[in-house]
Amino acid sequence: MEENNKKKVEEEISREPNAENPFTLLDLKLTHVEKSAAGVPAVMAAFSDLFEEKAPIRGMRALFKMNQMNGFDCPSCAWPDPDDERSVLGEYCENGAKALAEEATTKRVTPEFFRQNSVYDLAK
């Protein structure tokens, strides 16, 4: 009897949402390594993230303020800001632009969504 109860508890625990990443990684794909991590392809990738998040104008304005003297720090890293001259075109990397695009998104989750979906169910 006690063994059955122990099994039931273990089964219930295994159904609980877990804060840890899964042990197996699914759907990984190997692709050809790009020759460059900057330049026009990186700029195009940054812009595509802004369009994907439906925030092209809002995002562009924010990119020109990110890591500037009177602006704000990048939400994605701890890259030290230069003390003096900064590029007016931008002081950020592609990952910083992606993080900014996610922060600048106009997409919203409404209270109705959380009425229909508990945090517990979403965590599963």
Mind listing the pLDDT tens digit for each residue in 71-110?
Answer: 888 888 776 766 777 777 777 777 888 888 888 888 888 9
The 10s digit of each residue's pLDDT in 47-70 is 888 888 888 888 888 888 888 888
Compute φ and ψ for 40, nearest 5 degrees: -60, -45
CA torsion angle 109 115 117 122 (round to 10): 60
Q: What is the pTM of this model?
A: 0.55
Give the separation between CA 26 and CA 42, rounded to whole angstroms. 26
Q: Is 8 helix (H, G, I), strand (E, B) or coil?
A: helix
Among the listed residues 67, 51, 65, 42, the one whose alpha carbon sits nearest the alpha carbon of residue 101: 51
pLDDT of 111 reads: 93
